[in-house]
C-alpha cells in the first residue's frame, strides 16, 4: 500500500507508521486508533497522537556506516495515558484498553497512574475519557474518565459488567475512514453546546 485514497478524494502518500514490533501482539485497537488519528490529521479535523513507549536507553552502538543501534534498553512505566492532542481548541486525553472477556471489564487493566493523570486532565479543564473494546463482542465504547474512575475505585467488585458500558457509555461507530469515529462521540458528550 503506497497511498491511501480517502472517499472524499484526499490522497495520502505514506501508510500510517507501524507500531513497535514488541507492542504489536494483539493491539488491534491501537492500530485502529492510530489509523483514525491519521485520518483526523489528514482531513485537518484534529491533531491527536499516541505517545511513544517510554524506554530507558543504556547502550548505543554507532557503526561507521548506518544509523545508531541501541543495544541495551528497558521499558519504563509511563506516567500519563497513551493518547493526547487537540480537537476544536480543546485538550483531548484518553486511554484505550481492550479485553477478550465477554461479560465484564477487568479493573486491573487500568493502571493507577492512568487514573491519576485523567483526574488531573479533568481538573485542568481538558476532555478525558477511556476507549474500551470488547473484542469478542466486536464492540468499542467511549466512556467519560470521571464516570469510569468512580466505577474503577468502587472496591465492591474486581470488574465492571458489560451491561454497565451499554448504559453509561457511547457505542462507537466503526468503518473504513475513520476506522473508529470516536470524535463524533466526543461531540455528543462534551461539545454539544459549542
Closest of 64, 122, 62 to residue 90, by C-alpha:
122
Stretch 92-111: interaction string toward a copy of itself, x if CB under 8 A:
-x------------------
Nearer to a copy of itself, 117 or 179 (CB): 117
Number of chain positions touching a copy of itself (CB under 8 A): 48
- Considering the complex, what minimum distance in angstroms separates the CB of residue 48 from a copy of itself? 10
Query: Counting beta carbons within 10 angstroms of the beta carbon of residue 85, is it exposed (0 to 12), middle (13 to 18) or buried (19 or more)?
Result: middle
| Rounded CA separation 164/151 (Å) | 10
**Interacting residue with a copy of itself among 10, 86, 157, 171 (CB under 8 A):** 86
**Interacting residue with a copy of itself among 51, 103, 113, 163 (CB under 8 A):** 51
| Rounded CA separation 107/46 (Å) | 30
Nearer to a copy of itself, 43 or 157 (CB): 43
SS3 124: coil
Write out the binding residues for a copy of itself, residues 62-81 only, by CB under 8 A.
67-76, 78-80
150 binds a copy of itself (CB under 8 A): no
| Rounded CA separation 55/75 (Å) | 5
33 binds a copy of itself (CB under 8 A): no
87 binds a copy of itself (CB under 8 A): yes
Closest of 187, 151, 188, 164 to residue 46, by C-alpha:
187
Task: For the chain, give the number of residues.
Answer: 194
41 binds a copy of itself (CB under 8 A): yes
SS3 21: coil
What is the grid cell recorded at 121? 486532565
43 binds a copy of itself (CB under 8 A): no
- Residues at the contact surface with a copy of itself, assessed by CB under 8 A: 17, 20-23, 41, 44, 46-47, 49, 51-58, 60, 67-76, 78-80, 84-91, 93, 117, 120-121, 123-126
Amino acid at each position: 500500500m503506497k497511498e491511501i485514497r480517502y472517499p472524499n478524494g484526499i490522497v495520502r502518500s505514506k501508510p500510517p507508521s507501524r507500531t513497535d514490533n514488541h507492542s504489536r501482539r494483539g493491539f488491534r485497537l491501537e492500530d485502529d486508533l492510530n489509523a483514525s488519528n491519521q485520518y483526523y490529521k489528514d482531513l485537518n479535523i484534529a491533531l491527536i497522537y499516541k505517545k511513544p513507549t517510554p524506554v530507558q536507553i543504556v547502550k548505543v552502538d554507532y557503526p561507521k556506516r548506518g544509523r545508531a543501534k541501541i543495544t541495551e534498553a528497558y521499558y519504563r512505566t509511563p506516567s500519563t495515558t497513551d493518547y493526547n492532542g487537540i480537537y476544536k481548541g480543546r485538550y483531548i486525553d484518553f486511554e484505550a484498553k481492550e479485553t477478550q472477556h465477554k461479560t465484564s471489564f477487568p479493573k486491573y487493566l487500568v493502571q493507577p497512574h492512568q487514573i491519576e493523570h485523567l483526574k488531573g486532565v479533568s481538573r485542568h479543564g481538558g476532555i478525558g475519557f477511556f476507549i474500551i473494546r470488547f473484542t469478542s463482542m466486536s464492540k468499542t465504547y467511549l466512556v467519560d474518565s470521571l464516570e469510569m474512575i468512580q466505577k474503577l475505585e468502587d472496591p465492591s467488585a474486581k470488574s465492571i459488567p458489560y451491561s454497565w458500558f451499554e448504559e453509561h457509555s457511547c457505542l462507537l461507530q466503526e468503518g473504513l475512514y475513520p476506522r473508529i469515529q470516536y470524535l463524533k462521540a466526543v461531540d455528543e458528550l462534551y461539545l454539544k453546546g459549542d
